[in-house]
Amino acid sequence: MYCRNCGKEIADNAAVCVNCGVSVGKGEKYCPNCASETSPDAAVCVKCGVALKKTSDGKVSTGVVGDKSKIAAGLFAIFLGHLGIHKFYLGEKKEGLIKIIATVVSVLAIFVCFVGVFMLIAVWIWNLYDAYCIFSGKTTDAEGNELS
Ligand SMILES: [Zn+2]
Ligand SMILES: [Zn+2]
């Protein structure tokens, strides 16, 4: 994998480019697959044909359809989103944990004051937004594969 911003080679699991410090998937100057220069609004690399379209969370989509289901991920987001199930399903463990923490904090807040209820609703609206991104094809799994 290559940095989208500077074109230097980076580890596949890197979160940030060690060369330029830009987080992986950000930038639009180079192809992440073959490191050739790309024009900022190109949807596909003209050299190797890889999809350059960014996902809702700034990752680069591989353009490959993976084995994860859009329907399953979307329904998980709507009904089990407070437990981060849709994130775990897509392999996004860190984001799944953030959802659980947000839910636990909200529930604890209910014991202190009524605001916790609104926090829980806010987390749910956040989950609905995740579902919207999943159904509209803006979300990929952790490897950047499109949902089927
Ligand atoms: Zn870089
Ligand atoms: Zn390329």
Task: Give the model confidence (pLDDT) of 39-48 as tens digits.
Answer: 887 878 889 8
Is the CA virtual torsion 23, 92, 68, 79 positive or negative? negative
Q: How far apart are CA 72 and CA 80, in angstroms?
A: 11
CA of 141 to the centre of ligand 2 (A): 21
User: Average pLDDT in the 124-130 region?
Assistant: 97
Q: What is the pLDDT of residues 67-110, one digit of tens each?
A: 999 999 999 999 999 999 999 999 999 999 999 999 999 999 99
Write the CB contacts of 110 (distance below 8 Å, at least 6 apart in sequence).
Answer: 116, 117, 120
- The closest ligand to the CA of 6 turns out to be 1
Q: Give pLDDT tens digits for 12-65.
A: 888 899 999 998 878 889 998 999 998 887 878 889 888 777 666 666 666 678
What average pLDDT does this structure show over 129-140?
92
Q: How far is the CA of 5 from the centre of ligand 1 (A)?
A: 5
What are the sequence ranges of the domains in the chain? Answer: 1-52, 70-135
Residue given tokens 């980076």 in the structure block:
10
Ligand nearest to the CA of 35: 2
Work out the mean pLDDT of the chain and round it to a whole number: 90
118 Cα–ligand 2 center, Å? 46
